[in-house]
Amino acid sequence: MLDLAGKKILVVDDFPEMRSMMRKMAVAFRGQDIDDAKNGDEAVKALSKKKYDIVLCDYNLGDGKDGQQVLEEAKAKNHINYATIWMMITAENTVEMVMGAMEYQPDGYLTKPFTKTEFSSRLEKIQQKKADLEEIEKAISRKDLLAAITLCDQKLATNPKNLMEIMRTKADLCERLGDYTEALSIYEKVLSIRDIPWAALGVAKIRYENKDYMSAKELLQELIEKNSQLVEAYDWLAKTYEALGDTSEAQRVLTDAVTLSPKAILRQKQLAELAYKNKDLETAEASFKKVVKIGRTSCYKEASDYSGLAKVYLDKGSAIDALKVISNVRDEFKNAPEATLQAAVMEGSIYTKLGQPDQAEKAIEEASHIFQNLSGNVPTSVAMDLAKTCFAMGRKEQGEELVKYVVRNHHEDEDVLKQAQGLFNEMGMSDEGSALISSTRQEVVDINNKGVQLAKEGKLEESIEFFAKAATGMPENLVINLNAAQSLIMHMQKAGKNDRHLYQARQYLDRVRQISPTNEKYQKLIGFYKKIVAV
């Protein structure tokens, strides 16, 4: 029988009667620590202050955030963890509601009106499921994926009742760590037992990762024909078409996906950006407008949504409309330097287009100043936009330095390098740009090789100092930060732990976690780091 004694419970509903009814149901099962919220903002505030075991959240909360947006923000900001039970409650079962909520995967649904028996039965089943996966989920939540895989293997060895769920979890973990061979083996084993959509999707994803794009495309098309509501399959099919160079077909697939799930803001952003890349300005405008509208009450609201719409207006010859959109950025994102940077960059472009060089210079001076202060925390797209504006204004040297900054921090990222080359092509500097990108990449490779060689020769203190300087200039470079952390860990393994070295290694590892938390080398280094700390 359901027992809520000792559980911290949050009830979210805009109707007092429903809040009272759910509170009484919780009390009937020995619930005592019960808070409530009458809207999305109150719910997020409560979640930020207290860790709840159970959240009973209505989907439709009137004006402001809805239940889906409360859940997405709770997950994005880590207000809830592996143990939290999130029950979405609704009086409607529209496709938009169900598809939208599915994007952020609540633990279950209750449709109004529901009985005390339904309430008890649903919560009890979810509690049992959570308990079965508790240790695995704990390891995942602390980003220790290798430990989570070991725990999955231990569970699988006992032939558990929830066999499929544990196999799915392990396959996903292997995939995230880049062990596609093991993940594929699991997916194929599942499919040999039963034709399950998530397993077929897993096979398609691995084919994509292995660059077998044609095979991935065929499998994803077949999967969508059989399971038209499986929105994630549309995402991967769109990615596959992009990899094949067919961005028009990728846009069509994303259009189908947002039609199915119109409130999925991240997918709507992808469509807007892809349409802009395809020079389909009408679709880009419509999609960016939807993103801005949805984003008003979403934790995924970003200044780039506004600057994206402004770019569309600028390309359509509506510089005044672009300026109006960008003026909203300064109002909507006060005291946010990154947003102000994006606004200043766009203003530089807009004033250049309007033939107002003094205003353009003023904007770019502001942008350059903010960029220097934010070094290491500037999105690649913003740095590239600033470089483009500098080139357009005749600031060639500054534009080149910005591109070098981007390449140094992403010297192994082919997509970023293509963007950089595309910018030079657009500026009529193809050969010059190609040479600059190539030499900058080689510069990073040489720096990394020198640091690694010092470590191999046992000159660990020199390697530490060398990588520290490199990481200062390349704070977003995955390889440099990994090797900077590794040199410190190797030194401590040999000479014993040192508080200063532990602190430095943690900084580098935290940077890597922000860039690629599932990187296999990162996972191993975290393991070594923890062992040193424990000594």
Per-residue confidence at 197, pLDDT binned at 50, 70, 90?
very high
pLDDT digits (tens, 9 = 90+) for 414-448: 989 999 999 999 999 999 999 999 999 999 999 99
Q: Which amino acid is at 73?
A: E
Mean pLDDT over 167-182 rounds to 90
Q: Which residues contact 310 (CB under 8 A, 6 or more apart)?
A: 322, 323, 325, 326, 346, 350
Q: Where in the chain is the domain with CATH 1.25.40?
A: 458-534
Q: Which residues contact 295 (CB under 8 A, 6 or more apart)?
A: 265, 301, 302, 305
Q: How far apart are CA 161 and CA 232, in angstroms?
A: 27
CATH topology of domain 8-132: Rossmann fold (3.40.50)
Q: In what order do the strands lie in the sheet with 108-111?
A: 33-37, 8-12, 54-58, 85-90, 108-111
pLDDT at 130: 84
pLDDT value at 533 more than 90: no
Mean pLDDT over 328-335 rounds to 90
pLDDT value at 397 more than 90: yes
Between 508 and 527, whose confidence is greater? 508
pLDDT digits (tens, 9 = 90+) for 306-316: 999 999 999 99
pLDDT value at 95 more than 70: no
Per-residue confidence at 93, pLDDT binned at 50, 70, 90?
low
Q: What is the 3-state secondary structure (H, E, C) of 29-41?
A: CCCCEEEEECCHH
Mean pLDDT over 286-300 rounds to 94
Q: Which residues contact 271 (CB under 8 A, 6 or more apart)?
A: 251, 254, 255, 257, 258, 283, 287
Question: Average model confidence (pLDDT) for the chain?
Answer: 92
Is residue 462 classed exposed, middle or buried when 0-12, 13-18 and 19+ CB atoms within 10 A define those classes?
middle
CA-based nearest residue to 10, from 44, 78, 1, 30: 44
Q: Which amino acid is at 430?
A: S
Per-residue confidence at 376, pLDDT binned at 50, 70, 90?
low
Mean pLDDT over 180-201 rounds to 95
Mean pLDDT over 162-188 rounds to 92
Indicate the SS3 state at residue 364: helix
Q: How far apart are CA 80 and CA 98, in angstroms?
A: 21
pLDDT digits (tens, 9 = 90+) for 3-61: 999 999 999 999 999 999 999 999 999 999 999 999 999 999 999 999 999 999 999 89
Q: How far apart are CA 206 and CA 236, in angstroms?
A: 11
Alpha helix (H) ranges present in 103-179?
116-132, 134-141, 145-156, 163-176
Q: How far apart are CA 445 and CA 439, in angstroms?
A: 10
Strands 54-58, 85-90: pairing is parallel
Is residue 181 classed exposed, middle or buried when 0-12, 13-18 and 19+ CB atoms within 10 A define those classes?
exposed
Q: Which residues contact 320 (CB under 8 A, 6 or more apart)?
A: none
pLDDT at 398: 95
Task: Give strand pairing partners of 10.
Answer: 35, 55
Q: How far apart are CA 154 and CA 169, in angstroms?
A: 13
Q: Where in the chain is the domain with CATH 3.40.50.2300?
A: 8-132
Exposure string of 349-360, with b = 16+ CB inside 10 Å and e = fewer, is: bbbbbeeeeeeb
CATH topology of domain 458-534: 1.25.40
pLDDT at 102: 67
DSSP 386-435: HHHHHHHTT-HHHHHHHHHHHHHHTTT-HHHHHHHHHHHHHTT-HHHHHH
pLDDT digits (tens, 9 = 90+) for 463-490: 999 999 999 989 999 999 999 999 999 9
pLDDT at 405: 93
pLDDT value at 110 more than 70: yes
Per-residue confidence at 98, pLDDT binned at 50, 70, 90?
low
Per-residue confidence at 242, pLDDT binned at 50, 70, 90?
very high
